[in-house]
């Protein structure tokens, strides 16, 4: 199936497995595909598998190209009209569905954390190694914001000098409400022991890993701030997963320079709402960017003896994949999600990313995140610094 898809690349035909929040985001990105100028390929959704048949209607009424709907995800992998799959299901299903898709020769965009734990992730990586002709990537969209891309351009240019410190994070706050009912993302059986690191962690690792920065060890402080929640049926039940994680890691770049990298993944960060940030401090330059103020990029360029001045630069609509949208308009979440999909299609067709930081997370990068999060769990258990191998 993989080779056939390469020959037919003008339109890549997708099945969606998981018709929830992210399944719909993907479909809406496909609906906006014509906004891309020079799109690497066309994309068509032809099949949908979701556990809940009630979710079918929204998809089929908006996407007449969908000819197959089923509650059994294995059925879409048997469909000869399917070249590729987007799988957005609870974490306990990642290994089984991803491995089956890869073995069926379907190109795969899988959601993070790419396996509920390290063992599940290793099974997915093994399937990738056995099927090198299948293109596999993990979803992570925030680096495709123009402001984040500009920081990445500075990394590529070596503009920071010797790196002093890196901070990345992803902060939410809706779980501050103690009355918010529990869902699968708050339960170990379906979300995994990583808790908030499984949900949010890949997002904060994407840029550092692509930069080639390797965490050597980690000291983690994990918090379960709301250990009980309503179940939405009148009961209060245990809420077992970690709400917040702060990780401090001694991290090494390609030159051998070791610096502290602080990662935060918070579900309970008062006042924050989907705040993804990237801060890099170096001897020659420093940069800060966040989705909190997505048009503002802060850069400090330093020459010895000179003043240390933070510049606030307004960033326009200047994403890696050009679109019909004017450069003066604002860029938002649906735009970065569309850009990520353009990157997936570009690399599928071209065999390489448009540029170093305009590529989706690789399976090997997900494996590194699992090494980090597994070590973080051990660090929390032992109250100690844990080496990452
Ligand atoms: N990239 C991002 O920014 C982002 C954001 C949110 C979630 N996610 C990830 O996306 C994935 C899904 O999260 P979501 O928020 O869309 O969850 P969701 O609960 O909204 O949707 C999950 C869907 O999976 C379906 N499902 C469950 N079991 C199934 C089965 N056996 N067969 C077929 N379908 C099944 C459910 O019916 C539901 O439609 C997770 O891995 C999550 O971490 C990514």
Nearest residue (by CA) to ligand 1, atom 11, is 88
Q: What is the pLDDT of residue 251?
A: 98
Closest CA to 8 of 96, 84, 109, 93: 84
| Burial state string for 346-375 with b = 16 or more CB within 10 A and e = fewer than 16 | bbbbeeebbeebbbbbbbebbbbbbbbbbb
- Look-up: residue for tokens 């984040």? 148
pLDDT in tens, 353-364: 999 999 999 999
* Same domain membership, residue 187 and residue 134: no
* Same domain membership, residue 68 and residue 181: no
In this prediction the pTM is 0.96
Instruction: Tell me how far apart the alpha carbons of residues 155 and 51 are, in angstroms, rounded to a whole number.
Output: 43
* Same domain membership, residue 360 and residue 266: yes
* Same domain membership, residue 150 and residue 90: no
* Same domain membership, residue 149 and residue 50: no
138, 162, 195 — which closes off a domain?
Answer: 138
Residue 49 belongs to domain with CATH number: 3.40.50.720
Spans in the chain with pLDDT lower than 70? 1-9
Q: Which domain holds residue 340?
A: 142-387
Report the separation in Å between the CA atom of 126 and the middle of ligand 1, taken as the mean of its atom positions. 23
Asked if residue 49 has its Cβ within 6 Å of ligand 1, the reply is yes
Segment (H or E) for 2: helix 2-7
Q: Which atom of ligand 1 is nearest to the CA of 142?
A: 3
120, 138, 156 — which closes off a domain?
Answer: 138
For the chain, the domain total comes to 2
* Same domain membership, residue 154 and residue 111: no
Q: What is the pLDDT of residue 5?
A: 46
* Same domain membership, residue 109 and residue 37: yes
* Same domain membership, residue 293 and residue 245: yes
* Same domain membership, residue 212 and residue 102: no
As a whole number of Å, the CA-based R_g of the chain is: 21
Q: What is the pLDDT of residue 389?
A: 82
pLDDT in tens, 319-349: 999 999 999 999 999 999 999 999 999 999 9
Q: What is the pLDDT of residue 58?
A: 98
Residue 356 belongs to domain with CATH number: 3.30.360.10
For the chain, the straight-line distance linking the first and the last C-alpha, in angstroms and rounded, comes to 36
Q: What is the pLDDT of residue 204?
A: 98
Report the separation in Å between the CA atom of 116 and the middle of ligand 1, taken as the mean of its atom positions. 13
Q: What is the pLDDT of residue 9?
A: 53
């Amino acid at each position: 199936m993989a080779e056939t898809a390469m020959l037919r690349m003008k339109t890549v035909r997708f099945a969606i497995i998981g018709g929830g929040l992210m399944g719909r985001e993907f479909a809406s990105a496909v609906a906006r595909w014509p906004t891309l100028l020079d799109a690497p390929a066309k994309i068509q959704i032809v099949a949908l598998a979701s556990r809940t048949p009630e979710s079918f209607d929204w998809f089929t009424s908006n996407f007449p190209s969908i000819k197959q709907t089923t509650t059994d995800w294995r059925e879409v992998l048997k469909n000869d009209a399917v070249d590729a799959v987007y799988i957005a299901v609870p974490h306990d299903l990642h290994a089984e569905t991803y491995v089956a898709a890869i073995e069926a020769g379907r190109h795969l965009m899988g959601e993070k954390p790419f396996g509920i734990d390290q063992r599940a992730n290793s099974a997915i990586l093994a399937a990738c190694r056995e099927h090198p002709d299948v293109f596999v990537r993990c979803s992570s969209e925030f680096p495709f914001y123009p402001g984040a891309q500009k920081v990445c351009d500075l990394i590529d240019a070596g503009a920071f000098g010797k790196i002093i410190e890196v901070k990345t994070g992803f902060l939410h706050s809706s779980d501050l409400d103690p009355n918010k009912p529990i869902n699968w993302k708050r339960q170990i059986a379906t979300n995994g022991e990583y808790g908030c690191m499984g949900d949010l962690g890949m997002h904060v690792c994407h840029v550092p890993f692509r930069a080639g920065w390797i965490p050597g060890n980690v000291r983690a402080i994990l918090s379960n701030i709301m250990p009980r929640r309503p179940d939405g049926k009148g009961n209060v039940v245990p809420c077992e997963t970690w709400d917040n994680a702060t990780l401090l890691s001694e991290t090494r770049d390609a030159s051998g320079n070791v610096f502290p990298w602080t990662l935060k993944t918070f579900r309970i960060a008062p006042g924050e709402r989907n705040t993804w940030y990237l801060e890099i401090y170096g001897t020659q330059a420093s940069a800060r960017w966040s989705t909190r103020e997505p048009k503002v990029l802060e850069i400090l360029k330093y020459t010895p003896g000179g003043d240390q001045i933070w510049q606030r630069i307004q960033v326009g609509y200047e994403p890696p994949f050009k679109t019909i949208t004017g450069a003066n308009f604002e860029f938002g979440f649906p735009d970065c999600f569309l850009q990520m999909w353009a990157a997936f299609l570009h690399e599928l067709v071209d065999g390489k990313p448009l540029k170093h930081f305009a590529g989706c997370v690789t399976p090997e990068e997900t494996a590194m995140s699992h090494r980090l999060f597994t070590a973080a769990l051990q660090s929390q258990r032992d109250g100690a610094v844990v080496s990452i191998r």
